[in-house]
Amino acid sequence: MKISKYVSKPMDDNGQIAWSESEHAVWHKLVTRQLSCIKGKACQEYFDGLDMLSLPTDNAPQVSDINRVLMQSTGWQLEAVPALIDFDKFFALLADRKFPVATFLRTEDDFDYLQEPDFFHEVFGHCAMLTHPAFASFTHHYGNLGLNASKAERVYLARLYWFTVEFGLIENTSGRSIYGGGILSSPAETEYAFASSEPVRKWLDVLDVMRTPYRIDILQPLYYC
């Protein structure tokens, strides 16, 4: 297993993390850049969720503030976890309507690109959609499936998650939009997934998705809509 150079910051009993000044500054830069990048590209459900969350732009948010909104909208909660967790823990948390969030922020060196999911990715990428009842219900159901799945079945489930929750697109009569958190937390991938003619875009077919391996270290060559 890959060892992370990052360590999650401790959260106190009130759900507060003692973010440093430099972490607040990194959050500010990440969130302002990404807010302008997703304009006209993210789906309406995502923007509605972002409105409900009203994430701060000047300082890194606190888990307790996000949890208040998630609890009211769909009954979900964020659960602070170490930088990396195993599949057993991951599925068990989702099955309990808890979304795992590593409580570390990338440093300036990793500003544009980071393979492991940091606090910005988890919060900005995923929390808005978790306020949406259908999406929240899908994620809960997904957790239950994973909890009871074999190791081999989990490989297929991981692909389903990757191509929907992380890298899913929507195509409908209003055009194309993005709901995948892996896309929406990355400026390069947002532009590429939305506008480039390079990647293949296919209609989502669950069997097809489950038969399709993916790579985590490149812009995706394929998106499902």
Q: Where do contacts with Fe ion occur on this chain (CB under 5 A)?
A: 117, 181
Residues 127, 70 contacting (CB under 8 angstroms)? yes
For the CB of residue 90, give the shortest distance to Fe ion in the complex, in Å.
Answer: 11
For the CB of residue 166, give the shortest distance to Fe ion in the complex, in Å.
Answer: 5
Residue number with CB closer to Fe ion (119 or 194)? 119
For the CB of residue 225, give the shortest distance to Fe ion in the complex, in Å.
Answer: 19
For the CB of residue 210, give the shortest distance to Fe ion in the complex, in Å.
Answer: 19
Residue number with CB closer to Fe ion (49 or 181)? 181
Residues 126, 139 contacting (CB under 8 angstroms)? no
Residue number with CB closer to Fe ion (25 or 84)? 84
**CA dist 197 → 50, 59, 83, 84, 96 (Å):** 28, 36, 35, 34, 39
In this structure, the strands spanning 175-178 and 77-81 are unpaired
Residue number with CB closer to Fe ion (61 or 117)? 117
In this structure, the strands spanning 98-102 and 169-172 are unpaired
Task: Please report the sign of the dihedral spanned by the C-alpha atoms of residue 95, residue 96, residue 101, residue 103.
Answer: negative
111-138 exposure pattern, b = at least 16 Cβ within 10 A, e = fewer: eeebebbbbbbbbbbbbbbbbbeebbee
Q: What are phi and psi of 160, to 5 degrees?
A: -60, -45
For the CB of residue 5, give the shortest distance to Fe ion in the complex, in Å.
Answer: 19
Rounded distance between C-alpha atoms, residue 217 and residue 13, angstroms: 36
Residue number with CB closer to Fe ion (61 or 181)? 181
**Alpha carbons within 13 A on the beta-carbon side of 126:** 25
Residue number with CB closer to Fe ion (21 or 217)? 217
For the CB of residue 150, give the shortest distance to Fe ion in the complex, in Å.
Answer: 23
Rounded distance between C-alpha atoms, residue 97 and residue 87, angstroms: 15
